[in-house]
Amino acid sequence: MEKHLSELNKDQIEAVKYNSGPSIIIAGPGSGKTRVLTNKLAYLIDSGVNPFNILALTFTNKSAKEMKNRVKDMLQSSISYNTWMGTFHSVFYKILRIECERINYEANFTIYDSNDSKNIIKRIIKELGLNKDFYKPNFVSYKISSLKNNLITWQKYNANPELKLEDESAGRHNFIEIYKRYQKKCFQNQAMDFDDLLLNTYILLKDFPEILFKYQNKFKHILVDEYQDTNYAQYKIINKLAEIHENICVVGDDSQSIYSFRGANIHNILNFKKDYPNHKMFKLEQNYRSTKKILNTANTLIENNKNKIEKKIWTNNKEGEDITINQSESDFEEGYFVAKRIKQLNCNLNEYAILYRMHHQSRSIEESLRRENIPYRIYGGISFYERKEIKDVLAYFKLTINNHDEESLFRIINFPSRLIGKTTIQKIAIKAEEKNLTIWELLKDISSNKKIELNLNSQKQSSLIKFYEMINFFNIQSKNKSAIEVANYIIEHSGLLKEYKKDITPEGKIRLKNIEELINGIKEMSSISNEVFYLSDFISEISLMTNQDSDDYEEKVTLMTIHASKGLEFKNIFVVGLEEGLLPADKSQNNTDIEEERRLFYVAITRAIENLTLSYARFRNKWGERTNSEPSRFVYEINQNKNNANIIDEKYKKYKKIDALKTQPKGEKISRFKSTIETIKNYKSGDLVKHNKFGIGKILEKNDEKCIVDFKNFGKKTLLLRFAKLKLLK
């Protein structure tokens, strides 16, 4: 064992050897966290601790398996396999299997996945006679999951007026009945969903002291990986199990806490010192991954966060290349710049990763890579034109251009729902075959009042006629109007836009953003065309592009969201879309949100080994309309230290229309904002102002840094004067 410890640095060894009470290991990016955790587990076993008395919790099965195998190699024994090690859900499932009779479940209870849960919710909504468009199953499922992860049963929810107020205000008075019936249905079926595995484990430990005591004495040592990602339920269960022995060691990095949308609570790691006053803290600050300049940039950025554990990552690695900051005229040019920069760096394509805040941003990057014949993969997702909502829209476009495209017709004839079910579709397909007609020709005959025996009721026949007339009208429009006009018209009048707007879950919002980005792509292609750009031209363009896709390449550039990149590293990292509204995201209205967005950018920066390229655009399209973009405040923050970033080299300027962001001395304002700030400083409470996004509003409060404006359509917003760009209305 000592041989393995010799491979660790001083801070790592201290963290491994301390096992006499609560401890927290703050592991910066690239600091060898997995190595420390593995060595700690091996050291415990080698020191005589029974593996049966060790609980090790991870967030992925892959991590648990990797740790077990590493410990096995270190100890030259499979004894580590006796450790209770796995994900939170797998370990708690094991406990519930043993103890579930106490909560009236059978040991062979079923686990429902998300599809099972949604199907039950759909049936309940139907049973209650509720509008499924108002009570979207995705939203209801998301809401129930969130409540459970905060240990709120339907009984607790029902007894708390404040919790019910949000749903009642939104007109969802029946949510409580759905939640109640859902839980009862699960119990009747002797089934638990994934969130129940946490909730029921907590109930078991809370309501049955003897069971709690049993596992408190069993787990004399508890190790928790990625502690910054734990939610409230996980936090409470861990604390209960550690109450007696307090031999708990949590590992994580508060600066990499980026999953609040999944319920992760950064205060779990920040408040560890309060939960365990006698704790010992170890900081792993030496980075083995990145260059000095990359780490200096990361440190300069994260210093702006107030809620954090103080640390400063450092390295013995080389100084490295300057950080490149690129300003493009548009997202189209940004994609072009990235593609050309990849070719210029001339590395193995597997050594590149392009990171973005939101899924829809991949579109312009994908198209640029395709144009330059650079193969790529979407990590943890699918290519833009393969996403369901995009294929739905494209099916409408394709059927509009080619009325005989039956693949497209079958996809959209009942989406959004027109009450044209599978039976009806089957009937018209058979009838078309009988009459030697295409389905479109048959629909034309039906709409022309020709005698077609389909044995359909008047409502279904009417729906078919309306569908035919709608597509036919789209077709007429497509021959006379531009692609962007027709595309917008189709998306609105087909019902697609309304359908996707109904889904207010995070997934639903992503789908809507993707559709918006498709429109932006059409606008982009239109702008570079020398002739009138029709919808048929757009379909041809993307058909040719996507037809070039191939998996024959061993080397590929990786595209992914920043969230998906956590835990990974690449020689060359591109972070694109560094603009207000993207990073930080539009939703970031308060300091807590901004700090998480800053941590997200910190994660992106620290994925880079040698080269880091940051990029933003002056203009982006939103629903096909060109809008101004402001560079992210984070770009200015990393430039607080003038040694961190450089102006784009002359050799890149040919890919851009304007100069890159100039480096500013620390403490100096960016010049382009000076006049704006000085002007706004003269505004006063009561003044009417106009904002390019929120419209007209009245200033309620103002100081030298920010103001609170009550906007007519968006309510109260707190705006930083540095970025507000308000226009005074006389």
Kindly list the catalytic residues.
33-34, 225-226, 256, 607
**Dist CA 324 CA 612 (whole Å):** 6
31 SS3 class? coil
**Dist CA 443 CA 435 (whole Å):** 12
Q: How does DSSP assign 575-630, residue by residue? A: E---BTBBTTBTT--SHHHHHHHHHHHHHHHTTEEEEEEEEEEEEEEETTEEEE-P
Spell out the residues 6+ positions from residue 702 whose beta carbon is closer than 8 angstroms to its own. 683, 684, 685, 708
Contact (Cβ atoms closer than 8 angstroms) between residue 202 and residue 151 = yes
**Helices 33-46/10-17 angle, 10° precision:** 40
**Dist CA 151 CA 153 (whole Å):** 6
Question: Quick count: other Cβ atoms within 10 Å of Cβ 480?
Answer: 10
Pairing of β 323-330 and β 557-561: unpaired
Contact (Cβ atoms closer than 8 angstroms) between residue 251 and residue 223 = yes
Dihedral, CA of residue 565, residue 569, residue 573 and residue 577, to nearest 10: 10
Contact (Cβ atoms closer than 8 angstroms) between residue 337 and residue 615 = yes
Q: What residue has token string 């009721």?
A: 457
Phi, psi for residue 451 in degrees, rounded to 5? -70, 105
Instruction: Tell me the residue type at 31.
Output: S
**Dist CA 274 CA 252 (whole Å):** 17
Contact (Cβ atoms closer than 8 angstroms) between residue 607 and residue 356 = no
Nearest to 95, CA basis, from 65, 57, 60, 145: 57
> What string of H, E and C letters represents the secondary structure of 621-684?
EECCEEEECCECHHHHHHCCCCCCEECCCHHHHHHCCCCCCCCCCCCCCCHHHHHHHHHHHCCC
**Dist CA 113 CA 97 (whole Å):** 17
Tokens of 406: 């039956």
**Dist CA 192 CA 113 (whole Å):** 9
Which of the 8 DSSP states describes residue 485? H
**Dist CA 526 CA 624 (whole Å):** 10
> What string of H, E and C letters represents the secondary structure of 321-365?
CCEEEEEEEEHHHHHHHHHHHHHHHCCCHHHEEEEECCHHHHHHH
Which of the 8 DSSP states describes residue 102? G
Sign of the four-CA dihedral 481, 387, 612, 230? positive
Instruction: Tell me the residue type at 530.
Output: N
Tokens of 149: 């992860």
Q: How does DSSP assign 501-551, residue by residue? A: HH--SHHHHHHHHHHHHHHHHHHHHHHT-SS---HHHHHHHHHHHHTT--S
**Dist CA 281 CA 21 (whole Å):** 11
Cis peptide before 506 (omega within 30 of 0): no
